[in-house]
Amino acid sequence: MSKVRFQLASPKLNPIFTLKDPESGTRFDHLVYYSGRGTGKSVGIAQGVIYHTNKNKRMRAVVCRQFGSSIDESAQQELRAAAKMMGVEEQYTWTSRIITHKLTGSTITFMGLERNIGSIKGLSGVDLVWVEEASDISQAALDFLIPTIRKPGSVIMYSLNPRDRNDAVAKTFIFNKYPNSLVVQLKTTDNKFWTDKLQRDMDAMRAIDPIGAKCIWDGEFLGAGDTVLIHPSVIADARTVIPTANPKLKIYAGLDVAGMGKDSTVLVRRQGNIILSKHKLATGTTIENTEWAKTIYAEHPWDEIIIDATGSTGVADLIEQWASVTNIFEVTKWNASRSARNKVKYTNARTESWGRIRDWLRNGGQLTADKCWDELSLVEFKYTNKEQIALLSKDLLKKSPDDCDALAMSIWYNDEEKPTGPPQQHYSTGPYAG
């Protein structure tokens, strides 16, 4: 065993090292730390794991997360950084599967719970568990884990960024008093190592997205109204906008194609901040949908069309063929499940397309009085553990917002002026083709 040196971001992290209630001296069964970005909770827990495995002989520590298959996908870097900071990095052997203290024989291993729920039973002899990204832990995994870690003196530590109040760990510990547990919320003001860079990043987000900042930086659970991506007030404001027409800009069309036997096919035409027209077909075959779009183009043309090809590429293929022969407009086949272009902010293309609607409305986009636009406020979102925005599944909606999806596709590209020469086909290249 070697002596360690370290500094904590906050005194609130002290229980990670004592594992005891300072008043009663009773050892906790569960320690739950939750906060937003920049509070030092993960660094503090990583230091705690190193502290205990360096101090105690033959200690078994396990780092758990819902998804993953090896420790190098988990807290490996944080654990190694903590050991280096504490001056004991060389006392450990570091591999992708196990970290072993050379003197105490204590080990740190990793388990991804999603594929190994049945293996949780093998943790009955473990002394210390760190459940990182605990907002992801399923109720089934938690129900297995809690009674399994039953060795006398064993402790489970949880670190999480607030997301949904109904997440298993939040519901069990934060919003209900679980026996022999300590729940600690850390704030940015608790971190004595807070930097000017962190302050600038936080201030920037507060200015752009105050609700998002409340969750990501302040560590607050969002209320019911906060999880709506596009608030009704934004929609109301957009109906009062008087935009300036710019005929030099391209006209973009978004075509949301109905699935077999459900929803409607909708085509929205937009130029700049103005929705020029909206067209709807209740039912139709692939051929009928295609001919319907051709008929609309004859009277209401566009320079570029973005077509939903998520479930089927049939309509998109036929319109693409027509456009390539006539060379009259550009075509993009769009897929909702593809990766977002802005992967830092959004989980997939569908989420990004709705985020673009929100940005368009904030920057002067006009909505008509048509009641269909009220459906923009029906779609809810959550933040992932990577702080990306993720829309909740369409399956949770009573009605599919087809008109809004078509509008989203019409906003998929940034506005450009109309070309003076022949159009260059978007469908021939790029990650959103076919």
CATH number at residue 60: 3.40.50.300
Q: What is the DSSP letter of 174?
A: I
What pLDDT is attached to residue 289? 93
Helix then strand count (H, E) for the chain reads 12, 15
Which structure tokens are listed for 77? 């870097």
Which structure tokens are listed for 13? 């992290």
Domain-ending residue, one of 193, 211, 243:
193
Residue 5 lies in a domain: no
Is the C-alpha dihedral spanning 207, 211, 217, 218 positive or negative? positive
What pLDDT is attached to residue 425? 47
Q: Which of 70, 78, 76, 65 is nearest to 157 (CA)?
A: 65
Assess whether 239 and 318 both reside in one domain: yes
Residue 19 lies in a domain: yes
Q: Which residues of 25-55 are buried (b: 16+ CB within 10 A; e: fewer)?
A: eeebbbbbbbbbbbbbbbbbbbbbbbbbbbb
Reduced to 3 states (helix: H, G, I; strand: E, B; else coil), residue 280 is strand
**Domain region containing 364:** 228-428
Is the C-alpha dihedral spanning 131, 146, 148, 66 positive or negative? negative
Assess whether 221 and 248 both reside in one domain: no
Whether the CB-CB separation of 403 and 397 falls below 8 Å is answered with no
The predicted model scores a pTM of 0.74
Assess whether 222 and 168 both reside in one domain: no
Rounded distance, CA 420 to CA 275, Å? 23
Assess whether 210 and 165 both reside in one domain: no
Residue 201 lies in a domain: yes
Assess whether 221 and 324 both reside in one domain: no
Whether the CB-CB separation of 415 and 320 falls below 8 Å is answered with no
Assess whether 284 and 164 both reside in one domain: no
Assess whether 329 and 408 both reside in one domain: yes
Assess whether 319 and 178 both reside in one domain: no
Measure Cα distances from 434 to 25, 30, 312, 416, 430 in Å: 63, 50, 10, 23, 9
What pLDDT is attached to residue 427? 40
Structural domains of the chain, count = 3
Task: Give pLDDT tens digits along the chain (434 positions).
Answer: 556 777 899 999 999 999 998 888 889 999 999 999 999 999 999 999 999 999 999 999 999 888 765 455 558 889 999 999 999 999 999 988 899 999 999 999 988 887 766 667 778 889 999 999 999 899 999 998 999 999 999 999 999 999 888 899 999 999 999 999 999 999 999 999 999 999 999 999 999 888 889 889 999 998 767 889 999 999 999 999 999 999 999 999 999 998 755 678 999 999 999 999 999 998 778 999 999 999 999 999 999 999 999 988 999 999 999 998 888 899 999 999 999 999 999 999 999 999 999 999 999 999 999 999 999 999 989 888 788 899 988 766 667 899 999 999 999 999 999 877 655 544 433 344 43
What pLDDT is attached to residue 430? 38
Which structure tokens are listed for 31? 């320690």
Rounded distance, CA 94 to CA 104, Å? 15
Residue 4 lies in a domain: no
Assess whether 351 and 386 both reside in one domain: yes
First to last CA, the chain: 59
Assess whether 128 and 56 both reside in one domain: yes
Which structure tokens are listed for 21? 């209630």
Report the CATH number at residue 337: 3.30.420.240
Domain-ending residue, one of 179, 206, 227:
227
Side-chain half-sphere of 103: how many Cα atoms within 13 Å? 12
Residue 2 lies in a domain: no
Residue 434 lies in a domain: no
Assess whether 250 and 382 both reside in one domain: yes
Assess whether 271 and 332 both reside in one domain: yes
What pLDDT is attached to residue 165? 87
